[in-house]
Chains A and B, each alone.
Chain A
Amino acid sequence: MQPLAISRYSIVNCLGAGSRAVLEALLEKRSGLARCDFEAVGIETHVGRVAGLEDIPVRDDLGRYDCRNNRLAQLGLELDGFAAAVATARERYGAARIGVFVGTSTSGILETELAYRRREPGTGALPPDYRYHETHNTYSLADFVRRYLGLRGPAFVISSACSSTAKVFGNAARMIALNVCDAAVVGGVDSLCLTTLYGFHSLELTSSGPCRPFDTARDGISIGEGAGFALLERVSSPTGRGQALLLGVGESSDAHHMSTPHPEGLGARLAMERALQCAGLSPAAVDYVNLHGTGTRTNDAAEDCAVWQMFNGTTPCSSTKGATGHLLGAAGITEAIISILAIENGLMPGSANTREVDPALRSNYLLANREARVRRVLSNSFGFGGSNCSIVLGAAD
């Protein structure tokens, strides 16, 4: 594919608000995970919660969209000068030439979960203040972002569980390649809710403490929340030069099982191969792999198998989920931005919370931070339903 410039990005999660705060946490190898104190959830686990969302409603004119997920979206849009950069792009291209392709897995369903506890005793009806379209519906996020930024181009939400916000890079790249858009806002948001906390718990996939990707004693995920956005433009655009690049996107399906990955990581390997093929690169051209690395027994084993087949245990790799938690639908964009921070700051992040790498896993897994020149990063995102996506990010030419 023709590389695209990532001319602006923003990020917020339990490590902090803004790319500087997230970078500082990574440099200190700090984890943002803490014991779950969300909505009286009676599960012994850790989560990556964003502080203060309860106190910052969405902008008045979009008040109908107010919910935890869209509050997190707004917080992300206002960080790192992102909304201002989109406004500049809007002046340049026109509002109709900028697409919005964002991902979420659970949108604002927390509103419905809570509304089901307030059903009218006689009729069972939901309370009158409940708003489905603007909160619960999966499209709510793109609708909110598009209105917030005053854009009029094509839009939709990608929702393929934990691969969602890696896949949006592919949607945007194709839309720009076919000249439906000149630029695109990609990224996405996921926020804490009961369905994912109790759901992953029912599958025995939540870690009892902070998650420990690739550790011998790993026992599951820590659910996190957060938002991330990126503005994609052609490299030839005035703001495209000197920026980090999207070099390739690879997508695949496991065709194996709804919630367990293919044991040898076949789908994961296909996604990585297709991403490198799309970028026109060999595995040796990759300096660092940001793993999906959720911290479950089976996910890490399957991904390790696929990564080892591709990289022979040489290329340094790590998961950053010990720091951020698993941001589910927002994991792809979060780790894409962490990959850009790795490139721009010469940092291969070591795995927070991991104490001892499982000797059964053969990849070159980083426990400690490493300072090194990072030109190209492969970032993996794999989800339920066997949905896999890998993206390749690179330094400015």
Chain B
Amino acid sequence: MRVFAEGVGLAGPGLPGWKASRATLAGFGAYTRAPTAAAASELLPAAERRRVGTPVKLALAAGSEAVGAAGRDIATMATVFASSSGDCDNVHHIFEALASPERQVSPTRFHNSVHNAVAGYWSIAAKCRQASTSLCCHDASFAAGLLETTVQTGAGDGPVALIAYDHPYPEPLNSARPVGGEFGVALVLAPRATSRATAALDIEFVPRDADATRMDDAGLEALRCAVPAARSLPLLAALAGEGRATVILGYVAGTHLRIAVAPCA
């Protein structure tokens, strides 16, 4: 299946946006880890801006950068959100409350606990009534989201934005499910080559095991392994490199995605 990448967005540790991180990802500069910077988006109404958690900030930062780079209208774009675990701070607070004798759950925490909370806030911020998908595939959530976005792009006639994000749980869940950083990534994919397209992606689902493509830089490779959404890094590196490349992303047990990247002239 062939789709065309029109825009990329990024918010990760030491990766403050796609534009600012391209050279590093292409191997032209050293990677230095630093805390992820993602402020609450100005697109959100003030009341919502105050009560959103890290995942909404990551998704809006990466997503709006990608849609802006593609020169597309955020209000008319279909979206696919992929995350391994949603809002980890929020559910921790709910579980603590439920373990207490009072069992009092905050109503805002409860409606923020749904896996598609980020999609809900995005649609409000973007004033977008298009279809939106929220999926989970544990460590392979980015690959699952990429396959689904590719399929949605191919089945429809407009661009679709993939937005993947993950962040750590507080303890005690962090020990049971360690996630090593806050990371948001977004890609706008389109069914046809237009002047907006920067690369063609041929994406294939392969029902066999394969070693996933690694990052050359040790710090970026550690990040790739530590955060499910950062499994996207080899694809981002290929897009940053502006040359032909083949990227293997691990998918569900016994399968992978093979992605051939070719720059658009």
Residues of chain A at the chain B interface (Cβ within 8 Å) = 42, 95-96, 105, 109, 112-113, 116-117, 119, 123-126, 130, 132-133, 136-140, 142-143, 146-147, 152-161, 167, 170-171, 174-175, 177-178, 180, 194-195, 198-203, 251-259, 266-267, 270, 274, 383-387
Give per-residue flags for B199-216: 1 if the beta carbon is below 8 A from chain A beta carbons, else 0: 000000101000000000
Give per-residue flags for B94-106: 1 if the beta carbon is below 8 A from chain A beta carbons, else 0: 1111110001111
**Interface stretch among B6-14, B19-27, B230-238, B250-258?**
B250-258
B147 CB–A CB distance under 8 Å:
yes
Asked whether A253 lies within 8 Å of B104 as measured between CB atoms, the reply is: no
A-B CB proximity, top 6 nearest: A385-B120, A199-B110, A96-B207, A159-B115, A251-B131, A138-B136
Chain B neighbourhood of A253, CB < 8 A:
119-120, 123, 128-132
Chain A neighbourhood of B148, CB < 8 A:
156, 171
Q: How far, in Å, is B78 (CB) from chain A's closest CB?
A: 9
Query: Within the assembled complex, what's the spacing in Å between the Cα atoms of A140 and B115?
Result: 14
B64 CB–A CB distance under 8 Å:
no
Query: Within the assembled complex, what's the spacing in Å between the Cα atoms of A267 and B119?
Result: 14
Q: How far, in Å, is B1 (CB) from chain A's closest CB?
A: 6
**Residue in contact with B105 in the complex, picked from A142, A202, A256, A385, CB distance below 8 Å:** A202
Give per-residue flags for B128-152: 1 if the beta carbon is below 8 A from chain A beta carbons, else 0: 1111111111100100100110011
Asked whether B115 lies within 8 Å of A137 as measured between CB atoms, the reply is: no
Chain A neighbourhood of B33, CB < 8 A:
none
Residues of chain B at the chain A interface (Cβ within 8 Å) = 1, 84-86, 91, 94-99, 103-107, 109-117, 119-121, 123-124, 126-138, 141, 144, 147-148, 151-152, 154-155, 171-173, 175-177, 205, 207, 251-255
Q: How far, in Å, is B138 (CB) from chain A's closest CB?
A: 4
Q: How far, in Å, is B158 (CB) from chain A's closest CB?
A: 13
Asked whether A116 lies within 8 Å of B136 as measured between CB atoms, the reply is: no
Task: Given A112-B95, A137-B85, A199-B113, decide whether A175 and B134 contact each other with a Cβ distance below 8 A.
Answer: no
Q: Which residue of A lies closest to B125 (CB)?
A: A255
Asked whether B96 lies within 8 Å of A116 as measured between CB atoms, the reply is: yes
Asked whether A194 lies within 8 Å of B176 as measured between CB atoms, the reply is: no
Interface centre among A126, A198, A199 (most CB of B within 10 A): A199
Task: Given A126-B173, A137-B85, A174-B152, decide whether A194 and B136 contact each other with a Cβ distance below 8 A.
Answer: no
Asked whether B173 lies within 8 Å of A139 as measured between CB atoms, the reply is: no
Chain B neighbourhood of A383, CB < 8 A:
114, 116
Q: Which residue of B lies closest to A274 (CB)?
A: B131
**Residue in contact with B131 in the complex, picked from A42, A132, A136, A252, CB distance below 8 Å:** A252
Asked whether B132 lies within 8 Å of A387 as measured between CB atoms, the reply is: yes
Asked whether B137 lies within 8 Å of A119 as measured between CB atoms, the reply is: no
Q: Which residue of B lies closest to A177 (CB)?
A: B155
Query: Within the assembled complex, what's the spacing in Å between the Cα atoms of A253 and B120?
Result: 8
Asked whether A266 lies within 8 Å of B129 as measured between CB atoms, the reply is: yes
**Residue in contact with A157 in the complex, picked from B111, B137, B255, CB distance below 8 Å:** B137
Chain B neighbourhood of A146, CB < 8 A:
252-253
Task: Given A156-B148, A159-B134, A257-B124, decide whether A125 and B105 contact each other with a Cβ distance below 8 A.
Answer: no
Asked whether A258 lies within 8 Å of B135 as measured between CB atoms, the reply is: no
Q: How far, in Å, is A61 (CB) from chain B's closest CB?
A: 14
Asked whether B137 lies within 8 Å of A155 as measured between CB atoms, the reply is: yes
